Amino acid sequence: MASRLASRLLLRRRPTATISILRSCSHVRHFSTQLLEGVHRYSKPTRGRNLLSNALPYQLWSRSFASENGDLVEAVVPFMGESVTDGTIANFLKKPGDRVEADEPIAQIETDKVTIDVASTEAGVIEKFIASEGDTVTPGTKVAVISKSAIPNEAHVSPPEETSQKEAPPPPPAEKDKVEEKSPKVEPVKKQEPKLTTPPLKSSPSEPQLPPKERERRVPMPRLRKRIANRLKDSQNTFAMLTTFNEVDMTNMMKLRSDYKDKFVEKHGVKLGLMSCFVKAAVSALQNQPVVNAVIDGDDIIYRDYIDISVAVGTSKGLVVPVIRDTDRMNFADIEKGINNLAKKANSGALSIDEMAGGTFTISNGGVYGSLISTPIINPPQSSILGMHSIVQRPMVVDGKIVARPMMYLALTYDHRLVDGREAVLFLRRIKDVVEDPRRLLLDI
């Protein structure tokens, strides 16, 4: 009896086990068809999680399938700075088919402030460019596709060029025939050209004569120039700008420079210029008038206990303002070295965004271009800017006598919402006193 009951139970369970096996087989067949349809079907998060979580072997197989194109590497736009959100592709340094090494620049991106390089992360051959010159890109945008195992252009691109050259010769004769057939039709067009130029000459003398369009050029404005224009206009619209002037006798400063310039170069390796003298004078004036070093932020005033002076540098691409950090802790030699280093980077386009960010006060030297006097515009978000000008021999009254002295006009433009006229005049007066008598810096008086 017991054996008969056991056999009956087995017979009852066999259909259930068979059904479960068939169900599992159908599930596997359904899963395999999904894999054959393409890996992109797993891009849906819900479906991919349920299937891959129930079968780990299939998960490993899908990974190997997805890594089929692991030979290809994408070059993307790097991080361009906290205040820079996008840029324009200025030019490509390489062409499709060229060999590139790891960290080698392949394109340049022009931002509002600096020019940034797009480098290749791996060594290989450029297969194609995804973006083109003039496109606006953001950090993370794909620029090029690089193959790590491809052969440079000379090896695998030359055969198609040869075939194209073989196919190219036949079309030119037909094109020449077409040109010859159309050549008599082009002659009357040339005869009509004088007729097109005659109407502008018939205009009445009272109307303004505009230059011909053939003598005009239209080029897109660079991003740096756009940024400069927007910042200058925003500065005029935001600040209540007022400019005060003074003049400085440069006799003692120029004599000091002439007496010690050779020894200064011998010891420090840089020339003693006038800019370092005015930077030290500005530091002394900012310490005496801290409000000039402050800035308005909403309904608050931020006073800075550090002095980072921005120096305006004119380049072929536009005006840039790199920053010399902690000038209150520097001597003349440190300031001169910092100015020379930043000037070289500015002219070569190697300035980084960090080297231009910040700054509490700006000095602009228009005298190097021969400017006699000007009203500089504040560099936002700062509150003031000092303008230096050319040194000119002018008649001055000294001890009741008229003598010729090397004189320079100084201009201080400040935000009148924050800085009153008293502080501005005292600030400029302090610079005048220090420059005319540099011994004040030594004695701190």
Q: Is 416 a catalytic residue?
A: yes
Residue 156's CB is within 10 A of a number of other CB atoms, namely 12
The DSSP 8-state label assigned to residue 435 in this structure reads H
Q: Would strands 401-415 and 313-315 be described as parallel, antiparallel, or unpaired?
A: unpaired
What is the distance of C-alpha 6 from the center of its chain? 84
Q: Among candidates 121, 388, 445, 165, which has minimal Cα distance to 274? A: 388
* Three-state SS letters, 13-73: HHHHHHHHHHHHHHHHHHHHHHHHHCHHHHHCHHHHHHHHHHCHHHHHHHHHHHHHHCCEE
- Find the catalytic residue in 420, 433, 437, 444: 420
**Contact indicator for 384, 412 with CB cutoff of 8 Å:** yes
Vertex 296, ends 294 and 297: CA angle to 5°? 125
Cβ-based neighbours of 277, under 8 Å, separated by 6 or more: 253, 257, 332, 435, 438
Q: Read off the tokens for 176.
A: 């020449």
251-268 and 332-348 helices cross at what angle (nearest 10)?
Answer: 80
Q: How far apart are CA 349 and CA 65, in angstroms?
A: 44
Encoding tokens for residue 321? 């303002």
Quick check: helix, strand or coil at residue 174?
A: helix
Residue 275 CA to residue 369 CA, distance in Å, equals: 14
Q: Give the residues across from 402 on adjacent strands.
A: 397
Question: What residue type is 103 in one-letter code?
Answer: D
Alpha-carbon dihedral 134, 135, 137, 141, rounded to 10 degrees = -120
- Judge whether 177 counts as a catalytic residue: no
Note the helical H segments in 272-371.
274-288, 332-348
Are 279 and 307 in contact by the 8 Å Cβ rule? The answer is: no
Radius of gyration of the chain (CA): 37
Q: 150 — phi, psi (to 5°)?
A: -75, 160
Contacts of 165 (CB under 8 A, 6+ apart): none
Q: Which residue among the candidates 268, 416, 433, 437 is catalytic per the annotation?
A: 416
Active site residues: 416, 420
